[in-house]
Structure 1
């Protein structure tokens, strides 16, 4: 347990007393009724124990949220059963079929066709969600330890006039350290850049305890001004926008305890190695936009040196806590991730909703085509 404050307000879970003060707890609970929650899913989450828990916990919120938007990527023959399952929960659910033909057509007509992934899915929901609530909470659906109280914790800073709130948590389970992409890629890369670049944006990105967490809350105004990368760079891109809009003084991070997530392989199209490439592109683009000019020729090797020092720290920490630890495997991951460090290339981010070429209502119509014709099963959305 510690109580260190970073450059941004850091709200700890000390485990003492009764939690939030009565007044703050009431404010956070009341805010739920004016909040839209976004929970992106793919077929991977369909009827999974983690997603079942997340939705079951959201059912416990009182008052109920203004809406729960579930942007879903699924094939035509899968969306009906997906909707039926989501409709079985007692929630004000709005299912958005992110790869519906109408959505693809809408984006193509606006010149926004291109790659798809988590970032695009969340963006499609952010516009409608910001119209539905005074605040927006976004979180992943793969946390087996999720609790409804996490919504209250994320919203609490917004009731204290912060504009952006980021969740952080420990990734320790199965007697091992997880959170590998953050520990072995993001953290050593940001530290490496901080060694040679004295820039506020580097300080901001380095202040987050778990920058790659999928859980955050934002005011509706901030949510409308996010420009998400289309895939796995979503979390880092969000931090870059939050820096511009909220800055150090308008940002808080909140302790969400210990999370147990589904785990990914390192290699493969859905693995951490591919994710590292997209995280690197998003991170380096944010830095370049704010005046940081990395030396790409030397950066990978310097990153590996800093990462090696961190691995020694992780080894000692694991031993201190009686955890299993494989330094050789971690060094292998470090080498793999080093290959992701390169200039970010062309910018394919989606626009701010304040500048979008169509309205959130157009997305709702395109992403819920069953409103106009028979596709899949009946549902409350």
Structure 2
């Protein structure tokens, strides 16, 4: 267990140092769960158990969840499902003998009406998605008087119940406000986690370099906090309910970074947990250079805009074209060093590594996303001439900006402007309960239907 001191305070890292017997962690969780009953939220799409290629993954998750006796409830937040698909999920849960399961059928009449109530009250954005799914699941967990809440994705190909034990251990046993998983992403003998390795880390390191040069300690506090996490973009997290009531949640691809920023500002203790001793694998996003609204490209833009928005609103960062020009130059230098490092590390582990592909992704795709986010933040208008000017000013981005991406940028410009100046997010449940004092009764009644 390693403790690191930063402006935030103490962030504890729980590493797997020896082979762990699950009974050791499960026994402690069972003991402490009597006073701190944990609830698990599993957001999922119907396709994650109806498509033949996904069924073995989901059945393995259900099989392992059935062993987590310390869980008070498991909430399955189900999106994009018809009535028959909802019933299929119910049957699968029963087949695996999972007790105290709740199906939060978001497309059904009961929870659909609750979403409308929340939207009419201005508590959630109108657009549906994973962020809103998790937000409502949190509301249900709090209404059930959960003391700790975990969130687990439904597409983890290498899931084992001891991973959940590790995630919840700091929060349930040691009363940390927040716990986040980290792991190594390897699939088909290649390193993955590309957005984290080739965008998130070099962007944070570039920002740190700039803020050290300007001696801006206020900015460095948040950047140092984010850099402490081995995997900032993991979706496996756990919270104490006292913190969770105050948290807001982003509903775009910047959700994980937004959550860490909320933790930085509102938590008093945080931990990260070594999730898996083996390489961790779940669904991979595709690179979509010609469509800014899909895959890793959209994720990258949302992450950059969410982070920059937080620095502007919370830390008072003054953005300019010169700032982004300098940032991009530093980012390029950092990615050059990191791609060599990953090449060396892959060779050390006898993994395949396509240096050219990773360099292209970092410099041309993610670099173009940083450039575009900066241009939106610092420009009053957007037109084809401006995009062509960008392509001419930065020749390395020309293929990405001209080969269909420019047209895609124009088509989503208004949506991106909204995400830059105000990251789409929910209200906190503390705020919801203040404005809608009847909401807990409504949620309890909903899960009884």
TM-score calculated relative to the size of structure 2:
0.74
Among 150, 153, 178, the residue aligned to 2:192:
178
1:177 to 1:105, Cα distance in 2 relative to 1, 3 A: same
For the 8 Å contact 2:2–2:14, the answer to whether it is kept is no
Separation in structure 1 between the aligned mates of residue 258 and residue 445 of structure 2, nearest angstrom: 27
What residue is the counterpart of 1:374 in the other structure?
none
**Secondary structure in structure 2 of the residue aligned to 1:296:** helix
Separation in structure 1 between the aligned mates of residue 73 and residue 431 of structure 2, nearest angstrom: 24
**Secondary structure in structure 2 of the residue aligned to 1:36:** strand
What residue is the counterpart of 2:405 in the other structure?
none
Larger Rg: 2
Check if 1:129 corresponds to 2:157. no
**Secondary structure in structure 2 of the residue aligned to 1:290:** helix
**Secondary structure in structure 1 of the residue aligned to 2:275:** strand
Matches within 5 A, 1:245-256: 245-247=266-268, 250-256=269-275
Q: CA deviation at 1:27?
A: 2.7
For the 8 Å contact 1:118–1:232, the answer to whether it is kept is no
Q: Deviations over 1:136-174 (max 9, x none)?
A: 011111111111112221222122232111111111231
What residue is the counterpart of 1:155 in the other structure?
168
Among 209, 213, 216, the residue aligned to 2:230:
209
Q: CA deviation at 1:75?
A: 4.0
What residue is the counterpart of 2:348 in the other structure?
320
Separation in structure 2 between the aligned mates of residue 313 and residue 69 of structure 1, nearest angstrom: 41
**Secondary structure in structure 1 of the residue aligned to 2:426:** coil
Equivalent pairs, count: 362
Separation in structure 2 between the aligned mates of residue 339 and residue 318 of structure 1, nearest angstrom: 26
What residue is the counterpart of 2:214 in the other structure?
none
What residue is the counterpart of 2:429 in the other structure?
353
Check if 1:242 corresponds to 2:263. yes
1:326 to 1:365, Cα distance in 2 relative to 1, 3 A: farther
Higher relative contact order (CA 8 A, sep 6+): 1
1:329 to 1:102, Cα distance in 2 relative to 1, 3 A: same
1:361 to 1:296, Cα distance in 2 relative to 1, 3 A: farther
For the 8 Å contact 1:116–1:231, the answer to whether it is kept is no
What residue is the counterpart of 2:106 in the other structure?
98
Among 39, 44, 57, the residue aligned to 1:41:
44
Gaps of 5+ in 2: 6-10, 212-216, 378-419
Separation in structure 2 between the aligned mates of residue 238 and residue 99 of structure 1, nearest angstrom: 25
What residue is the counterpart of 1:196 in the other structure?
210
Separation in structure 2 between the aligned mates of residue 72 and residue 28 of structure 1, nearest angstrom: 27
What residue is the counterpart of 2:411 in the other structure?
none
Separation in structure 2 between the aligned mates of residue 270 and residue 147 of structure 1, nearest angstrom: 30
What residue is the counterpart of 2:404 in the other structure?
none
Separation in structure 2 between the aligned mates of residue 154 and residue 122 of structure 1, nearest angstrom: 17
Q: Deviations over 1:184-205 (max 9, x none)?
A: 1111111111112242111111
What residue is the counterpart of 1:337 in the other structure?
366
Among 223, 232, 246, the residue aligned to 2:244:
223
Q: CA deviation at 1:123?
A: 0.8
Separation in structure 2 between the aligned mates of residue 235 and residue 309 of structure 1, nearest angstrom: 25
Matches within 5 A, 1:284-323: 284-291=308-315, 293=317, 295-323=323-351
Q: CA deviation at 1:5?
A: 4.7
**Secondary structure in structure 2 of the residue aligned to 1:137:** strand
Gaps of 5+ in 1: 372-381
Separation in structure 1 between the aligned mates of residue 29 and residue 255 of structure 2, nearest angstrom: 26
**Secondary structure in structure 2 of the residue aligned to 1:340:** helix
Q: CA deviation at 1:292?
A: 5.4
**Secondary structure in structure 1 of the residue aligned to 2:235:** coil
1:134 to 1:332, Cα distance in 2 relative to 1, 3 A: same
Among 68, 75, 78, the residue aligned to 2:74:
68
Among 14, 30, 33, the residue aligned to 2:17:
14
Q: CA deviation at 1:361?
A: 4.2
**Secondary structure in structure 1 of the residue aligned to 2:157:** coil
Bigger share in helix: 2
1:87 to 1:6, Cα distance in 2 relative to 1, 3 A: same
**Secondary structure in structure 1 of the residue aligned to 2:95:** coil
Separation in structure 1 between the aligned mates of residue 65 and residue 239 of structure 2, nearest angstrom: 18
Separation in structure 2 between the aligned mates of residue 62 and residue 189 of structure 1, nearest angstrom: 41
Separation in structure 2 between the aligned mates of residue 365 and residue 230 of structure 1, nearest angstrom: 26
Separation in structure 2 between the aligned mates of residue 348 and residue 276 of structure 1, nearest angstrom: 16
TM-score calculated relative to the size of structure 1:
0.87
